[in-house]
Amino acid sequence: MLITGAGGGMSAGINEILARAGHTIICTDVNLAAAEAASKKIKGLGGQSAAYPVDVTSEVSVVGLVAAVERDFGGIDVLVNAAGLLDRKYLVDHDESSFDKVIGVNLNGPFRMIRHFGPGMAEQGWGRVINISSIAGTTGYPYPSYAASKAGLSNLTRSLLLDFWGTGVTVNNVCPGVVDTAMVIQAVRDQVKEKVPTENIVDPKEIGSFIEFLLGEAAKNINGADLMIDGGATQVFRLFDDRPESFR
Ligand SMILES: NC(=O)c1ccc[n+]([C@@H]2O[C@H](COP(=O)([O-])OP(=O)(O)OC[C@H]3O[C@@H](n4cnc5c(N)ncnc54)[C@H](O)[C@@H]3O)[C@@H](O)[C@H]2O)c1
């Protein structure tokens, strides 16, 4: 299994659960030191792992990663796109480049990774692509670049089913609500008890356990889905009080 953004908080939970389940985990991140630390942690748990740098916004970097992984592992069967960027900017605070930067990591990044790793999985006749999207891609959200990137990722996923038709490769989005990582600011954490029906912030390991299920035989017919893990927040009310002042 290869994971992008391996050094992040969500990946820590995913890595731990899947390493314990016996998966070899190829840790990749734009921050090589963070990928190496994640890989070391997996080995500390008795798992198999290796670390590589990758900037998912760079074609050259991703092509280099494909070559390195092909050389060292002969390919992959599971791709988890977890690299992500949240820029807390409202419409009026964005410029072209700040908007593009978020789209570049959260949408173009998974597209590039799937484009380069997907054909190998299809050739093998089995594969699982898991994109870490967000509830922000399924409902109104204060930060438009993040919301647009994750909504784009969801529909990219649905559309890719046609490309992978009959190949044994499925593509799904896991859409977490508020997960206990450094990406989440205190104000949002404070809202969870009041606004999430289960009153829980999601543990990154819950995301790992869910992905473990998605990799199993029982999940073989789950394909092209937005799979929410948000305690029900999105279904019942607005999670975020954060509203821009600009047009009020
Ligand atoms: N934390 C949450 O509440 C939450 C909720 C829903 C979705 N998500 C999504 O989950 C994923 C992981 O988020 P997290 O909370 O662990 O954040 P994080 O900031 O802890 O981790 C993100 C990781 O992505 C890496 N990264 C950033 N740009 C990159 C690039 N160009 N190439 C390769 N790697 C890059 C970072 O170095 C970092 O290690 C993201 O896609 C995020 O949007 C998070």
From residue 231, give the alpha-carbon distance in Å to each of 173, 185, 190, 197, 206.
16, 18, 15, 6, 12
Any catalytic annotation for residue 146?
yes
**Assigned CATH topology for domain 2-247:** Rossmann fold (3.40.50)
DSSP 82: -
- Residue of 155, 184, 158, 180 whose CA lies nearest to 171: 158
The letter for the amino acid at 172 is N
**Residues with a CB atom less than 6 Å from ligand 1:** 4-5, 7-11, 29-31, 34, 54-57, 82-86, 105, 132, 134, 176, 178-179, 181-184
Query: Measured in angstroms, how far is the CA atom of residue 19 from the centroid of ligand 1?
Result: 19
| pLDDT < 50: residue spans in the chain | none
> Identity (one letter) of the amino acid at 183?
M
Tell me, what's the pLDDT at 173?
A: 98
Helices and strands in the chain: count of H runs, count of E runs = 9, 7
Q: Is 13 helix (H, G, I), strand (E, B) or coil?
A: helix
**Residue 239, pLDDT score:** 65
Question: What is the rounded CA–CA span in Å between residue 12 and residue 10?
Answer: 5
- Report which of 146, 206, 174 is spatially closest to residue 82, judged by C-alpha positions: 174
- Cα–Cα distances (Å) from 135 to 9, 90, 247, in that order, read 17, 18, 24
**Six token digits for residue 183:** 């990406």
pLDDT at 230: 95
Can you tell me which atom of ligand 1 is nearest the CA of 146? 43
16, 27, 58, 85, best to mutate for ligand 1 pocket (most atoms within 8 Å of CB): 85
Q: What is the DSSP letter of 92?
A: G
Residue of 248, 222, 196, 230 whose CA lies nearest to 130: 222
83-128 pLDDT, tens digit per residue, is: 999 999 999 999 999 999 999 999 999 999 999 999 999 999 999 9
The pLDDT score that the predictor gives to residue 248 is 63
Q: What's the pLDDT score for residue 235?
A: 87
Bridge-based pairing state of the strands 226-229 and 169-176: parallel
Question: What value does the mean pLDDT of the chain take?
Answer: 95
Radius of gyration for the chain, computed over Cα atoms and rounded to the nearest angstrom: 18
- 2-4 sheet: strands from edge to edge: 49-53, 25-29, 2-4, 78-81, 127-132, 169-176, 226-229
